[in-house]
Amino acid sequence: MHNYIADFLNLDKTALTTAGGKGANLGELARINGIHVPDGFCITTEAFKHIVAGNAGVAALLDQLAVVPATDRAAIASLSAAIRGQIEAIPIPAGLREAIHNHLTAYGVNDAYAVRSSATAEDLPTASFAGQQDTYLNIVGGEAILTHVRQCWASLFTERAVSYRIQHGFDHRTVPLVVVIQKMVFPQASGMLFTADPVTSNRSVVSIDAGFGLGEALVSGRTNADTYKVRNGIITEMVIPAKTLVMEAAAAGGTQERELPPDRQQQQVLTDAQIGELAGIGRQIEQHFGSPQDIEWCLAGKQFYIVQSRPITTLYPLPAVSDQQPHVYISVGHQQMMTDPIRPLGMSLWQLTAGRPMYAAGGRLFVDVAPELATPAGRQLMLNVLGNNDPLIKDALTSILAREDFIQPVTDDATVQKSPSGNPALADYQTLKDFDPSVVGELIRQSQASIEAFREEIKHKTGPALIDFIVDHIRQTRGAMKDPRGFRVIMTAMNASTWLNEHIAQWLGEKGVADTLTQSVPNNITSEMGLALLDVADVIRPYPAVIERLQQAVDDSFLNQLDDVQGGREAREAILAFLDQYGMRCSGEIDITRPRWREQPALLLPVILSNVRNSVPGAARQKFEEGLREATRKRESILERLRQLPGGDEKAAAADRMIQLVRNLIGYREYPKYDIVSRYFICKQALLAEAGRLVQAGVLPDAGDIFYLTFNELDDLVRTHTVDNQLIQQRKADYFRFDKLTPPRVYTSEGEIITSSYKRENLPAGAIAGLAVSAGIVEGRARVIRQMGEAEPGPDDILVTSFTDPGWTPLFVSIKGLVTEVGGLMTHGAVIAREYGLPAVVGIDKATSLIKDGQRIRVNGTEGYVEILDFG
């Protein structure tokens, strides 16, 4: 039985599989000089495996539990209760009983102990299972301890613990339980310590919760706790609420609660000196483990004891930097309307495309704008360019600038020459008001010629020459935005839109007129794509057999299964023609590794079938002409009303110049992304062909593995034919973990997520504020969708989702309105919503949680808020 028991002093962080997360961390804590950990030992996983998991009755029940889905609550409750009953009835072998007795004798056989559960999937850097299993305090006597050991084993199968493991993909058989038996400390105070602020994620702030007596009353929420914030050894915040009760050890064993006398309820639990001492202990433990920690502590007499420390798993990772300077990170994903994680190849290629230093963290990219914020010109640029597009970013940056001790200002503006996208500084619209709109057609023709030349040249490249060719091409082009005329087109259109909204609101009292004026503009490649898919539906609609075949399709082979039904050939040709022009697109298209429509055409089937069902023949032309009529009527109405004002002729002439600039130029806003993803798809096909050759040569097990390498690493692989498969597997695991994280819009090098809000007044009661990006008011059914493949919208639906990039555009022709969690005035979803005349509100944090699928909602795209009309 010697491998069934392990003392803390014989354990360290490598003992996870033997002692579980809690046991391994206690062993590690006991090794830190100056950190006091109550003595104790673990009943190891070997004991659990042989005594519990090896039990025939338990094994049979586990077989049944293995096939139960997370949604079947009744089956989980029934089976977990049966397993607990089986475990609690298992006799503990004589050898283990003797080993436990010997250890209790060494530590004090008549002393009190805490008996705690510790799972091997607990307190991990990637998933905290804290609190999933049971803890028992003040247990006295050998038989009582043995009883609670069995109860701890059984607590591995509480309904909550079982559900948690199913949801996180853990096999019940691979998560054995350890029981920690630890000398009981009878504290006058206890609580939690976080070495990073759990509210703001600021790593420079230690947050302490403290209460009288045992800490279980705090953990369970039955009493309030003092909260202390400490930064650089200085107490910066202290909240001392009324504490009504205390949990203490009972004389007969176990615990009891009693009310605190009134004179102690408002008393500060820890002195200022004790707070400073405890914060220092937290920093020492954090330094030892190498990551922010969630620490359980207690104070007995004048001594602090640490009874647990685990990594804080909820913090968003920080970019790796080599200096200690302050940084302000802005999410690239929020600007590009794609906040999902990106695989390494996708990140490195986007960094190459952008031509600006970026930082990777949590599978996303961030830009450091601290250098710009340090200068007057840079601050103005950030607030005008980024801030005017996304008020939440502007609010966050304003908050940071108000902290005079964070960004040290400099007066030399010579270092700030470019905007965050790497383009020339913002040009004023007055200098461009006579901008020749014919340049748009010229830019598009140049782009298409360059793409075709790239497609032909890359066919002849393989091996290292292919990698070099792609890198050189991307650097030379930097997308369509390399030509400064393209940036000037977009900025002229944006500034003209702003001019119209501001001046018409001032002169005529009408808000958001530019939204109507931008309907059905020329040269918008993305809105044209949505209309083109309506044309595909027109081809399919007359053929019921084709519709039935598409409804039955289960994979991407459906295109090869159409020729044997009436209309099948016509349908296949229509879909292929669409893919020829738009097949390089997809949701999340800035990531080259995401599957394109050409690669997985079944992604389009829900939208195609929705168009067949909900649109009428010729809907694409009708929709475009209706938008054009709306824009024309709005222009005529504005000009007519302006002419009635004092100085009306001059005002009308100025407004009409701006209207013409908007209508002739704003459509180009969508083209640079189309240019980039067109080149990306060509690159992807060539790189996958190269990967296929490496698979044939036995170098790679799977072509898709190249997605988990950076471009430089792929270059090395192609040149050396050596691959680090362990690195690839780790990157795959990282990607899965990153997918569960929510990236911040703006955060600092201290890890602080800068919260921001819309400064609004006079909203209806209960309204959810966002950013108004497409004018109009509409009511409909909320369709909460997180993946485009889930979507089959109806004509009464309002799309509610996390983000929409151009790959979501086909849905826009079938919905009434749009609500997103991410977005700005000029992001793709906003541009297309305006062109299609869809009221839209974006930038609503947690919209997909606040709004439930099927609820009736009202979207006010003029004022920028959403109302929930029913809560059924």
Residue positions annotated with a catalytic role: 828
- Using CA atoms, how far residue 815 sits from 199, 202, 270, 620, in Å, is 37, 41, 58, 14
In the block, tokens 């006991």 appear at: 30
Exposed, middle or buried, 412 (CB in 10 Å: 0-12/13-18/19+)? exposed
Distance of CA 309 to the CA centre of its chain: 26
In the block, tokens 């003992």 appear at: 15
746-748 and 364-368 strand pairing: unpaired
Q: Which residues pair with 784 in a beta bridge?
A: 800
Tell me the torsion sign for CA atoms 864, 865, 869, 870: positive
Tokens of 783: 């369709």
Spatial separation of the C-alpha atoms in residues 251 and 17, rounded to whole Å: 36
Spatial separation of the C-alpha atoms in residues 670 and 590, rounded to whole Å: 13
Spatial separation of the C-alpha atoms in residues 797 and 802, rounded to whole Å: 16
Q: Which residues pair with 559 in a beta bridge?
A: none
Alpha helices, H only, 363-416: 370-373, 376-381, 387-389, 391-401
Spatial separation of the C-alpha atoms in residues 629 and 458, rounded to whole Å: 45
- What is the side-by-side order of every strand in the sheet holding 135-140? 5-7, 40-43, 177-183, 112-119, 135-140
Enclosing H/E stretch for 748:
strand 746-748
Evaluate whether 568 touches 546 at the Cβ level (below 8 Å): yes
Spatial separation of the C-alpha atoms in residues 219 and 216, rounded to whole Å: 5
Residues in the chain: 872
Question: What SS3 state is found at 31?
Answer: coil
CB atoms within 10 A of CB 253: 14
Tokens of 196: 């990073």
- Using CA atoms, how far residue 566 sits from 545, 570, 571, in Å, is 7, 9, 10
Q: DSSP for 659-703?
A: HHHHHHHGGGGGHHHHHHHHHHHHHHHHHHHHHHHHHHTTS-S-G
Distance of CA 333 to the CA centre of its chain: 10
Exposed, middle or buried, 755 (CB in 10 Å: 0-12/13-18/19+)? middle
Phi, psi of 635 (to 5 degrees): -60, -50
In the block, tokens 């703001």 appear at: 200
Candidates 707, 710, 709, 662; CA nearest to 831 is 662
Tokens of 271: 């002195």
Evaluate whether 35 touches 277 at the Cβ level (below 8 Å): no
Spatial separation of the C-alpha atoms in residues 149 and 172, rounded to whole Å: 19
Tell me the torsion sign for CA atoms 206, 211, 216, 220: negative
Tokens of 350: 């986007």
- Using CA atoms, how far residue 351 sits from 346, 357, 717, in Å, is 9, 7, 20
Candidates 268, 403, 272; CA nearest to 328 is 403
Q: In degrees, to the nearest 5, what angle opens at C-alpha 712 toward C-alphas 706 and 715? A: 65
b/e code 553-586 from CB counts within 10 Å (16+ = b): beebebbeebeebebbeebbebbeebbeebbbbb
Determine the residue type at 153.
W
Evaluate whether 118 touches 21 at the Cβ level (below 8 Å): yes
Rg (CA), the chain: 32
